[in-house]
Chain A
């Protein structure tokens, strides 16, 4: 007997160990590589604190962490209080119908996809904003907190309810028979019993809130960022190792805190002693809890009063991720430099509130939903056209933008802004093929054909957005990318469907890691990004196919009736500042895309800097015999009419949803079906057995 039990212990110990290993392996690897001196997350090249230094040098991550912690703490406490009371109430509801209604409604945010909860709340807040006739967006600290409490509540209730169910109902009946009021009975009887459930619910609420990205993304607005939101906006291109660094710090801090609380908290005599202790120190605990609640309430009031703080003038700038020089590696911090320069020149303080977005469509959604307010945005050409057509852009005040004279003529008066009223070009670029010359046979990549090469099966990266993916297919098929002919779109679709089984994955920002590490051999992506990758892997090469897309990202001011004259003026001054030599060169060096600014391309330092990255960098970015205007006119993406745009999006979803041609049969459906069959059979078996037993016993 003793022997079997010790064998069982060994078995269960080694089993637990294995599961813990599985849970922790990725995290340990992440921590390990946060100390890596190179960017690689596969080869450990040497110990270095470089990423920690980079992390500490930018206050952004800590600012975001601070907000994450505040939101998580507040929402956990509030949802635990409301949730525990709710569980208690639900447990004692007489009416079954009422109880099940309340529980089902409670479970909705948990059962709903996060994304739906996020979207639905966004719709609600937008609606309230319209009803109240508010000019300013409602989204901010308050809405984020409401959203977090809402999705935390069911988790708290779900961890408290089982505890209540396990409790002997005669206990509380006895308490009431002995003269306890419901409140007394709750505090003296139920609370100590369900406390473990409450605590685990609170901890769960805290972690969920800290971890949440999807719902926050829709309810946060643009006045501040939480850590997941920051991480997401940083992943526009890739997750840099300084993210590993901050996650490692969070992990270690929390690990130590939890360990400490466990070592000092218990005397080892277990759960009953714990409950006993609570019973004995009831009064102190009640005082402590009410003190905590008071603090939290005061904290909330405080936060609502002071977040956002009543500071000087603010300018809300909304840009692509990593699309401005940010002071890393000793470069110019454009935003900071502007604030300093503005203070010096105008004797007035201005605070630039800089946030980032991952795509034109996100920008458009944020603008059109009124979810956030921006003063300066950086849309791509076709998006400028769309925004302008829909009356969402404010004309610029060119009397404040002197430096517009340095923009090359090629980039003025293009289709998206023929009257030169609404936009100033910021960067431009070309999409081409990036390939690994060490892995790909010579001469294989000489045009779009490489994207459907059987030889490169499983090593091809396609762009993960419909316009570019269809664009590439159309360039290869020699179709006009702005066609409205459905048959042409269908041809492009067939091309992409055939290509799907060759494609390793559809990527945006992941392209960096996958190309640099050699995971993939060829990718369609922008020339500027190629230079970035080349810095980390010199085997990479760039090929510009004959017909290909040129794009321009421009600077605009969106319409916002709530904006005052002064902010509008500062926005124009900011744009003018971006076009002046020093910041324009710094930004161009940082972004690595081509610049339409003559101050930049004639700057000797810039040319030298680019040539250091890649000896042909200037030729790749600025091909000598390029007639830009002609090429741009012929190949750029124009604004598709809504019908065609919808058709393209439908084709794109179909492409992504349907299994690739010639792909192996997906066995998961069979596995899932058989699992379902086993579960149903087991359920039936047990139900029948119970019925029989009940019959037998009665």
Chain B
């Protein structure tokens, strides 16, 4: 017992680490093995060479999901902020109401949006009753519809982590800022916003990742016209002949996602260090 006792607390992560090795790392090794396996069964890069055909899908996925994430942030942050300003009881009801739509399966939700946006759908039906028979607002099978679907499906993932962080910020900090002459807006930008960066980072990750890899939404709301990388992977796995190309695509997608998450994590680290100073 001389000197410092060894800190035993990190041991709590041990069960998770074992789990991660068995069920996260090991399966990924199989994906890697497949993506480097040529048609003859040996090691080969031919699957990656075949990815050139999928450039359009990669670019499309990246831009749609980026737009959807930004929209989610722009819509979601004010909502989380507005909720955090309510009384604790209202807060709980409101946050439950954010989570509630997630209880409806996304197959059904996406389908419901499709029914809403169609040329003969609910919105157009209502508009036609107001503006006459010939009125038609074409929404379905456009990039906008696909992005709307992403925003609709993943908005709760943005609101929840931001709210979680906001709700923990000591209200005294705001009071102090007000005492020191900050206006409400100044307090928001100089105190609240910097303190909530970790929530924003979580939110962005939680929206961006499922958006870039989604496959069902684009099929239903884009009419199969705007194939995303998720669709390409799904198709590759559904038809056995391109199994390896599918694995290669997933590897590339994983790398893209890893890089963007890495960048996001740096943001988090930087600001949590100097958060209050700004």
Stretch at the interface among A248-256, A550-558, A624-632: A248-256
A153 CB contacts on chain B under 8 angstroms: 16, 19-20
Interface contact A657-B227, CB-CB below 8 Å = yes
Given known A127-B30, A146-B23, A158-B161, contact A666–B143 (CB-CB < 8 A): yes
Interface contact A43-B125, CB-CB below 8 Å = yes
Cross-chain contact of A646 among B20, B237, B241, B274 (Cβ < 8 A): B241
Q: Is A281 on the interface with B (CB-CB < 8 A)?
A: no
B14 CB contacts on chain A under 8 angstroms: 89
Interface contact A262-B93, CB-CB below 8 Å = yes
A645 CB contacts on chain B under 8 angstroms: 241
Interface contact B237-A119, CB-CB below 8 Å = yes
Cross-chain contact of A108 among B13, B28, B106 (Cβ < 8 A): B28
Interface contact A110-B206, CB-CB below 8 Å = yes
Alpha-carbon separation in the docked complex, A541 to B85 (Å):
59
Q: Is A227 on the interface with B (CB-CB < 8 A)?
A: yes
Interface contact B88-A231, CB-CB below 8 Å = no
Q: Is B240 on the interface with A (CB-CB < 8 A)?
A: yes
A693 CB contacts on chain B under 8 angstroms: 277-278
Given known A232-B107, A262-B92, A519-B118, contact A668–B63 (CB-CB < 8 A): yes
Q: Chain B: interface residue count, which band?
A: 35 or more
B 112-132 to A, binary, CB cutoff 8 A, 1 in contact else 0: 110110111110010000000
Interface contact A42-B120, CB-CB below 8 Å = yes
Which B positions have Cβ atoms within 8 angstroms of A? 7-17, 19-20, 23-28, 30-31, 34, 50, 53-54, 56-57, 59-60, 62-64, 66-67, 70, 75, 78-79, 81-83, 85, 87-89, 92-94, 96-109, 111-113, 115-116, 118-122, 125, 141, 143, 147, 152, 155-156, 160-161, 164-165, 167-168, 184, 198-199, 202, 205-206, 209-210, 212-213, 215-216, 219-220, 222-225, 227, 230-242, 246-247, 250, 253-254, 257-258, 261, 267, 270, 272, 274, 277-278
A30 CB contacts on chain B under 8 angstroms: 104, 108, 112
Interface contact B10-A89, CB-CB below 8 Å = yes
Given known A29-B115, A93-B10, A115-B230, contact A123–B16 (CB-CB < 8 A): no
B228 to chain A, nearest CB (A): 9
Interface contact A26-B116, CB-CB below 8 Å = yes
A574 CB contacts on chain B under 8 angstroms: none
Q: Is A162 on the interface with B (CB-CB < 8 A)?
A: yes
Interface contact A653-B235, CB-CB below 8 Å = yes
Cross-chain contact of B115 among A20, A42, A124 (Cβ < 8 A): A42
Given known A162-B165, A657-B56, contact A85–B16 (CB-CB < 8 A): yes
Tell me the nearest residue of chain A to B78, going by C-beta: A15
Alpha-carbon separation in the docked complex, A262 to B86 (Å):
15
Stretch at the interface among A50-58, A202-210, A393-401: A202-210
B118 CB contacts on chain A under 8 angstroms: 42, 514, 517, 519
Interface contact B155-A23, CB-CB below 8 Å = yes
Cross-chain contact of B116 among A13, A29, A232, A362 (Cβ < 8 A): A29
Interface contact A121-B23, CB-CB below 8 Å = yes
A 94-128 to B, binary, CB cutoff 8 A, 1 in contact else 0: 10001000101111111111111101110110010
A545 to chain B, nearest CB (A): 23
Q: Is A286 on the interface with B (CB-CB < 8 A)?
A: no
Interface contact B13-A113, CB-CB below 8 Å = no
Q: Give the 8 A-B CB pairs with smallest separation, nearest first.
A: A505-B223, A89-B13, A113-B213, A672-B63, A506-B224, A120-B27, A86-B16, A270-B88
B12 CB contacts on chain A under 8 angstroms: 85-86, 88-89, 186
Interface contact B164-A657, CB-CB below 8 Å = no
Interface positions of A from 605 to 648, Cβ below 8 Å from B = 642, 645-646
Tell me the nearest residue of chain A to B168, going by C-beta: A166
A-B contact pairs, 18 of them (CB 8 A): A5-B184, A23-B101, A89-B11, A98-B10, A108-B24, A112-B213, A115-B230, A116-B213, A117-B27, A153-B19, A203-B99, A239-B108, A368-B240, A464-B219, A510-B220, A672-B63, A690-B274, A697-B277
Given known A158-B161, A657-B54, contact A504–B141 (CB-CB < 8 A): yes
Q: Is A440 on the interface with B (CB-CB < 8 A)?
A: no
Alpha-carbon separation in the docked complex, A270 to B116 (Å):
39
Interface contact B115-A656, CB-CB below 8 Å = no
Tell me the nearest residue of chain B to A11, going by C-beta: B82
Interface positions of A from 197 to 256, Cβ below 8 Å from B = 197, 200, 203-204, 207-208, 210-211, 213-214, 227-228, 231-232, 235, 239, 243-244, 247, 250-251, 254-255
A640 to chain B, nearest CB (A): 10
Interface contact A165-B112, CB-CB below 8 Å = no
Alpha-carbon separation in the docked complex, A179 to B8 (Å):
15
A 676-698 to B, binary, CB cutoff 8 A, 1 in contact else 0: 10010001001100100110010
B245 to chain A, nearest CB (A): 9
A500 to chain B, nearest CB (A): 7
Given known A89-B16, A115-B215, A211-B106, contact A166–B223 (CB-CB < 8 A): no
Alpha-carbon separation in the docked complex, A165 to B271 (Å):
13
A104 CB contacts on chain B under 8 angstroms: 258
Alpha-carbon separation in the docked complex, A510 to B278 (Å):
53
Interface contact B63-A673, CB-CB below 8 Å = yes
Alpha-carbon separation in the docked complex, A658 to B85 (Å):
47
Cross-chain contact of A243 among B108, B219, B278 (Cβ < 8 A): B108
B206 CB contacts on chain A under 8 angstroms: 110, 155, 158
Interface contact A25-B75, CB-CB below 8 Å = no
Cross-chain contact of B152 among A22, A127, A204, A518 (Cβ < 8 A): A22
Cross-chain contact of A675 among B26, B70, B209, B216 (Cβ < 8 A): B70
Alpha-carbon separation in the docked complex, A196 to B160 (Å):
12
Q: Is A477 on the interface with B (CB-CB < 8 A)?
A: no
Alpha-carbon separation in the docked complex, A107 to B234 (Å):
22
A518 CB contacts on chain B under 8 angstroms: 120
Interface contact B16-A124, CB-CB below 8 Å = no
A4 CB contacts on chain B under 8 angstroms: 184
Interface contact A266-B168, CB-CB below 8 Å = no
A505 CB contacts on chain B under 8 angstroms: 141, 222-225
Cross-chain contact of B27 among A121, A657, A658 (Cβ < 8 A): A121
A82 to chain B, nearest CB (A): 5
A 498-529 to B, binary, CB cutoff 8 A, 1 in contact else 0: 00100111110010011001110000000000
Interface positions of A from 25 to 44, Cβ below 8 Å from B = 25-27, 29-30, 33, 41-43
Alpha-carbon separation in the docked complex, A213 to B210 (Å):
13
Interface contact A116-B223, CB-CB below 8 Å = no
Cross-chain contact of A159 among B161, B224, B246 (Cβ < 8 A): B161
B247 to chain A, nearest CB (A): 8
A308 CB contacts on chain B under 8 angstroms: none
Interface contact B63-A42, CB-CB below 8 Å = no
Tell me the nearest residue of chain B to A255, going by C-beta: B100
Alpha-carbon separation in the docked complex, A608 to B143 (Å):
47
Tell me the nearest residue of chain A to B23, going by C-beta: A150
Interface contact A16-B16, CB-CB below 8 Å = no
Tell me the nearest residue of chain A to B258, going by C-beta: A111
Interface contact B165-A90, CB-CB below 8 Å = no
A47 to chain B, nearest CB (A): 17
Alpha-carbon separation in the docked complex, A488 to B152 (Å):
43
Cross-chain contact of B168 among A102, A163, A232 (Cβ < 8 A): A163
Tell me the nearest residue of chain B to A248, going by C-beta: B104
Known: A42-B122, A123-B30, A270-B89. 17 other contacts (CB 8 A): A12-B81, A24-B101, A42-B115, A85-B12, A88-B12, A108-B28, A114-B210, A119-B250, A157-B16, A162-B198, A213-B105, A239-B111, A270-B88, A652-B235, A659-B56, A666-B143, A683-B267
Tell me the nearest residue of chain A to B251, going by C-beta: A116
B141 CB contacts on chain A under 8 angstroms: 504-505
Tell me the nearest residue of chain B to A679, going by C-beta: B70
Alpha-carbon separation in the docked complex, A207 to B101 (Å):
10
Alpha-carbon separation in the docked complex, A671 to B30 (Å):
37
Which of A16, A111, A204 counts the most B-chain CB atoms under 10 A from its CB?
Answer: A111
Interface contact A182-B9, CB-CB below 8 Å = yes
A 112-156 to B, binary, CB cutoff 8 A, 1 in contact else 0: 111111011101100100000000000000000011011001010
Interface contact A124-B108, CB-CB below 8 Å = no
Interface contact A268-B89, CB-CB below 8 Å = yes
Interface contact B205-A16, CB-CB below 8 Å = no
